[in-house]
Structure 1
Amino acid sequence: MCTEAKPNTSINVTHFIIGGFDTLSRPIAVGVVILITYLLAVLANMINIMFIISDKRLHKPMYLLICNLAVVDIVYTSSSSPTMIGVLLAGVNTISYVACLIQMCVFNLGTSMESFVLAFMALDRFIAIIYPFQYQRYLTNTRVLVLTFIMWFIAWCFAFYMPATVVPLPHCSSRLKYSFCDFAAVIRTTCVNPEKYFNEVSIAAFFIFFFTFVFICLSYCGILLFVKLSSNNEKMKMGSTLVSHLICVVVHYCPAFVRIMFTRFGVVLTLEERQGLVIGAVLGPCLVNPFVYCLRTKEIKQKLFKIFKKFNTSD
């Protein structure tokens, strides 16, 4: 294991020490909360995936997007939650250099894909509401799968950029300031001025978050203009369709904008506030998304009721 070094003294780092939770007064309580939330998120997303894969009637564009979102949520929350749980509950506060870079890559992959998928789902709702009779012609399963593959490819390119930036840099410390291996934590252990790299990553993150968010907003504007011309019954149905997506958008973008964007424009966060935002950004969407779509999607809800009915009958 590597040891701490004096500033500006380059060292060979084989392991990082995770120090983000050192100031917590009740680490076990926080660890238990993260563990329960993580297990619920993974279980709920896996149930959604199994429901959609096992039922051929759900092999439609909208459900493929929900399935893809569930996969993204599992990847996203699994990128960092096990590490935080290990630190808080098992006292394992070290991570190898290679594992740290992999974690950074997967975490940023999940962050990017969450934005891409929500933007794609906004497009899906836009076409379904504005062009209901042409929906099956515009969005086929094949087109959804192709566009999904393109999104994953772009997200991987962005995710690989960050560890590729860190690898050539010399390290002056092995202690991570935050709770897992995100880019900000690792770049602060290097011997270089991190501002240049923070700005580069902020620009890339800005394009991903800003353009996907603007795309979602424009889709909503188009839908709202169309809804104004519709009857009251249609308005209720369209509003119900959008609520699920809107909840997921708010839960994902609010902490992300504060953490990534606002801090670049002078908003100062304490270590505890930043930690809370990061944990909320990771666990919040991954827990909320499957329950929102499970409870608000008629076919999945009916399938759940049938399963519970069978259990009650057998008892």
Structure 2
Amino acid sequence: PFFQPSFILQRCPSYIEKQNFTRVSEFFLMGLSDDPELQPLIFGLFLLTYLVTMLGNLLIILVVSSDSHLHTPMYFFLSNLSIADIGFTSTTIPKMMVDIHTHSRVISYVGCVTQMSIFTLFGCLDNLLLTAMAYDRFVAICHPLHYSVIMNPGLCGLLVLVSFFISLLYSQLHSLMVSQLTFFMYVEIPHFFCDPSQLFNLACSDTSTNNALIYFMGAILGGVPLTGIFFSYTRIVSATLRVSSTVGKYRAFSTCGSHLSVVCLFYGTALGVYLSSVASHSPKKSAVASVMYTVVTPMLNPFIYCLRNRDIKRAMQKFLRRTA
């Protein structure tokens, strides 16, 4: 059915016009709004959000690396999560601000595929690092006597490397599938970055196999880590409830509070965006909703860890005093 005239005419109306038949070399990112009066406000909000995200995550990286008391697996994963958040936001926000400033919405085909690949890489890396952090908390609370043996530096480094290479393979899979698609003439992406789902919807070629593969891989790379996190916290809650003292219970839950808040924020916003896009069927509303997990979540992560973690707060105060 994808090669019937009606389908070609619907998806690619210029397909049958031989004189206008060209292969796409650029896309047009439509952004969040077409209203010219809103553009300065959007630019200012995104600039402020980006600066806060960069400063917050860079501060966590500097504090963890400068304080010897924070050279533990938990904060090693946290600093890598901050690096992933910096890469995640730097892939989309600067390009959007440049487009607003220059009044240009053009992005080259190579630039679009590159942006999509890097965005997918850091998004998947965020997901896997949160899973590694859940495993770290599970070992710390359920097997405290063997914690230093199990969570040794070699295993921690291996978990980060494996997470990176899995994310890299997943992002390259996206790039490979998009490179096989055919686009024609003027292509508008109703988003502020090159979202893979939007590219599949705008393609003139058959994307049924690509969509099935993406959903399958997404279910594995989303479902398996989420199941691991759920299993870890089930065991953590069970072990904590067996502790007799109230102080012990509070201490156990306080060590997991920051991570659990970030997990709920990350998966909650991503699931909310998915459900809203399914319910509304509006690409514009989906683009606005995606701001939550692409922009807001990386900005809030440093605040969550700084406000809920006493070790981070103490180390940050010492770092700021030394800097001053």
Identify the match of residue 15 of structure 2 among 8, 15, 30. Answer: 8
* Residues 223-270 of structure 1: CA deviation (Å, up to 9, x unaligned): 11111111211111122122101111111111222334x479x53342
Cα shift at 1:7 = 4.4
Identify the match of residue 265 of structure 2 among 251, 254, 261. Answer: 251
Tell me, in whole angstroms, the C-alpha distance in 1 between the residues paired with 2:284 and 2:178. 25
Give the match for residue 214 of structure 1: 227
Tell me, in whole angstroms, the C-alpha distance in 2 between the residues paired with 1:259 and 1:11. 34
3-state secondary structure, aligned to 1:134? helix
3-state secondary structure, aligned to 1:26? helix
2:305 paired with 1:293: yes
1:93-242 matched pairs, under 5 angstroms:
93-172=105-184, 173-230=186-243, 231-242=245-256
Report which stretch shifted further, 159-168 or 9-18.
9-18
Q: Could you tell me the TM-score, scaled by structure 2's length?
A: 0.87
Q: 1:108 to 1:296 in 2, by over 3 A?
A: same
Cα shift at 1:156 = 0.4
Give the match for residue 30 of structure 2: 19
Tell me, in whole angstroms, the C-alpha distance in 2 between the residues paired with 1:23 and 1:201. 30
What residue ranges of structure 2 are gaps of 5+ in the alignment? 1-11
- Does the 8 Å contact 1:86/1:93 carry over to 2? no
Cα shift at 1:193 = 4.1
- Does the 8 Å contact 1:20/1:179 carry over to 2? yes
3-state secondary structure, aligned to 2:34? coil
Q: 1:58 to 1:268 in 2, by over 3 A?
A: same
Tell me, in whole angstroms, the C-alpha distance in 2 between the residues paired with 1:137 and 1:283. 37
Report which stretch shifted further, 54-63 or 273-282.
54-63
Give the match for residue 292 of structure 2: 280
Cα shift at 1:68 = 0.7
Q: Could you tell me the TM-score, scaled by structure 1's length?
A: 0.89
Cα shift at 1:301 = 1.2
What residue ranges of structure 1 are gaps of 5+ in the alignment? none
Tell me, in whole angstroms, the C-alpha distance in 2 between the residues paired with 1:21 and 1:276. 6
Q: 1:36 to 1:207 in 2, by over 3 A?
A: same
Tell me, in whole angstroms, the C-alpha distance in 1 between the residues paired with 2:119 and 2:190. 17
Tell me, in whole angstroms, the C-alpha distance in 2 between the residues paired with 1:308 and 1:18. 41
Q: How many residues align?
A: 306
- Does the 8 Å contact 1:8/1:191 carry over to 2? no
Give the match for residue 89 of structure 2: 77
Cα shift at 1:285 = 2.1
Cα shift at 1:151 = 0.8
Q: 1:66 to 1:90 in 2, by over 3 A?
A: same
RMSD: 2.1
Q: 1:223 to 1:270 in 2, by over 3 A?
A: same
Cα shift at 1:44 = 0.8
Tell me, in whole angstroms, the C-alpha distance in 2 between the residues paired with 1:211 and 1:62. 21
Q: 1:23 to 1:89 in 2, by over 3 A?
A: same
3-state secondary structure, aligned to 2:260? helix
3-state secondary structure, aligned to 1:95? strand
- Does the 8 Å contact 1:11/1:170 carry over to 2? no
